[in-house]
A and B are shown apart, each in its own frame.
Chain A
Amino acid sequence: MPPIPNLTAADFLPLWPAVVLSLAGMVLLLSEVFLKATEREGESVRTYQAVFTVGAAVLAGGLALSLTFEPARAVFLAFAVLDPFSSFITAVACLGLALTALLSDGFLRQRQAERGEFYALLLFATAGMSLLALSNELIMLFVSLEVMSISTYALAAYLRRGPRPTEAGFKYFILGAFSSALFLYGAALLYSASGTTHLAGLASELGRIFADPSSDRRLVVYCGMALVAAGLAFKVAAVPFHMWAPDVYEGAPTPVTALMSVGVKAASFAALVRVFLAIGRHVEPQVPVLLFSTLAILTMVLGNLLALPQRNVKRMLAYSSISHAGYLLVGVTALFVPQARAGLPGVTVLAAGTRADQADALRAILFYLLTYTVTAVGAFGVVGALERREDETRGFGWDVDRFSGLAQRRPGWAVAMAAFMLSLGGIPPLAGFMGKLLVFRAAVDSGLLMLVVVGVLTSAVGAYYYLRVVVYMFMRPPPEQATLAPHQWGTEVALAVTAAAVVLLGVAPGLVTRWLGPAGHLFGQ
């Protein structure tokens, strides 16, 4: 028998946000049982579910933020880490959850589809994201990835009224399971080469393999790395692993799409960064740089080009989400440019001593994830508010025409949507611009000029399709028989919060970047 491990309360510290979220999910599941039959059919009884979810998200997010002041260390027999980076990712996921829950309340009520399970699955998915951000071992990472993914598969198939949502749920499930298998195969190869699944042990063993020039295990390590990268690239929807994203984002209920595009993406990026900082820095330095810069260029170029012809705004936002994964990958590439940069593909040495440390790139990625979270949830919120029930049943997507004259019909929504679109396009002084600025600065400091040039050019392309929505809202007359959904307080609050955040983060990013100071530290680096 192995000895009983000596665990203390400190070992459970980073798990608290996930514990709070999953307990809240279980309470919601049980509370459904105690509703009377009349209440179960009633109109507004279920608002408590959204409010409860928001409360749990705020509590878990607050706990995560308070954990950022703890020194970074490995806990729970090195299966998990407590570091500011993972705590911030958890906080961002909780923010996404709270906003999504606010949007869901009105969205589900209009469709008479309010159920406790919906919010419970949202909470479980976020608990999975939190666990994913703090896993420090490949099996733990895989289990958390599955907690997050299986909740989102079920959520994507939640409202199956018509062929499109059914297709979305099925496609997401099959391709997601396939990508998990790829990740698992890669992890198995890495284990067979190194004899351990702990990231720290893996790093030191890889260091030994690559220090020995006659080692015959290098190719196996590279195969494992490539498969793990492919599995995680599926989750963040990076080109060429993006095929599922537009169909799934279009078919899923709009609040779920919002959570998928922000929370799932943030947590998967956290896992990608943590795994590759452990294994990518001991292999030959050009390999991770080449891998991530190729992914970044493909994702930025194809994501933006494919979004251009889309008149269906929900689908356009899906492609936009792909292209934003590309900008984040630029930041990830910057993490892997080593001190001595000569001879690396795509790296231009500007001047000695300009190298930003890794911490700057990590902070930039976190800030970008935060700005993208508030912007994308807001944009999907407006889309969801304008969506009509028959959109899902008819096998036909909805056109940008729906936005015509929104400025006269709902000026508040139009102004908010304009802010989200301009922020996604990276136009100053909004949040998206500051996010891009920080990521591109980290990349320039690492000498990745090529990537930054591609990034700036593709953002200019992106401005075209974002501005088209703005033009329709402000410069086209409203259609004759325009019926709009009644006001829903949850949607209004969420839109107000996100719009305010988009402006604030753009005008005064210092409010947040000051907090991000310690987040550049990843345990073990």
Chain B
Amino acid sequence: MSTSQLVFFGLAFATLFSAVLVIAARNPINSAMSLVATFLFLAAIYAQLLAHTIAVLQVLVYAGAIMVLFLFVIMLLSLTHLGDPTPPPALHQVVGGVAAVAVLAGLVVAIWRWHEMAPVGRAREGLLRFGTLEQVGGLLYTRWLLPFEAVSLLLLVAMVGAVVVAKPRI
């Protein structure tokens, strides 16, 4: 196993572990903090994939801005009552859980059986400049112009929708 593989598996394990902690933690603050850890480890994986821009954005936007909002909400709600212990799972929850595990198993088998994981035979020197801000920006404003413009409509819709939903009474 090469060094980069070792680093990747370490990061992947850490990501999954902190992601599980997010849903397993009983205290919402612990949950939010594990989410920050998940975002940071994910950012490290992006950086390892040479997507530097995405890694920086991940830290700035998710681990920074969005998490602050999360923590504000948790603090304002001041959740002291942590709820009753979970009731035994109902039948549909068991069936759903089994189905979810089956989907996961299918995905694991599918990816396990697939040996060469790089479909695009990119040259090494091309990869080194692959995730830079210049490259991403250049692609966004040339080839990916139409989806980029569609995203601007999406942001407008999200903003108007958020205002409509946040209005106390219509």
Contact = CB atoms under 8 A, between A and B. Distances in A.
Interface in B91-118: 106-107, 109-111, 113-117
Interface stretch (B1-9, B22-30, B33-41, B141-149): B141-149
Given A4-B142, A194-B119, A216-B113, A143 B147 contact: yes
Contacts, number: 106
A144 B142 CA distance: 19
A486 interface: no
A71 to B, nearest CB: 20
Interface string A109-144: 000010101101100100110010000010110011
A150 B153 contact: no
Contacts of A220: 110-111, 114
B110 A143 contact: no
A216 B154 contact: no
B57 interface: no
Contacts of B170: 113, 115, 158-160
Interface stretch (B10-18, B43-51, B68-76, B155-163): B155-163
Nearest to B106: A223
A118 B106 CA distance: 43
A80 interface: yes
Chain B CB count within 10 A is highest, among A2, A3, A195, for: A2
A185 to B, nearest CB: 9
A146 B116 CA distance: 33
Interface residues of A, number: 49
Contact of A117 (B150, B151, B158, B163): B163
Interface residues of B, number: 35
Contacts of B162: 154
Nearest to A185: B107
A219 B161 contact: no
Contacts of B142: 1-5
A155 to B, nearest CB: 8
A76 interface: yes
Contacts of A2: 138-139, 142-143
Contact of A124 (B109, B143, B156): B156
A158 to B, nearest CB: 6
Given A22-B153, A146-B154, A157-B165, A219 B109 contact: yes
A448 interface: no
B127 interface: no
A76 B115 CA distance: 35
Interface in A433-464: none
B115 A124 contact: no
Contacts of A120: 160
Given A1-B138, A139-B147, A121 B113 contact: no
8 shortest interchain CB distances as A-B pairs: A154-B161, A219-B110, A195-B119, A79-B146, A143-B150, A195-B120, A1-B138, A2-B142
Given A117-B164, A139-B144, A153-B165, 15 more contacts: A2-B139, A76-B146, A80-B146, A115-B170, A117-B160, A121-B160, A140-B147, A146-B154, A147-B153, A150-B158, A154-B157, A154-B162, A193-B119, A220-B110, A223-B107
14 contacts: A7-B145, A22-B153, A77-B143, A79-B147, A115-B164, A118-B164, A128-B153, A150-B154, A151-B157, A158-B164, A195-B120, A216-B115, A220-B110, A223-B107
Interface of B: 106-107, 109-111, 113-117, 119-120, 134, 138-139, 142-147, 150-151, 153-154, 156-158, 160-165, 170
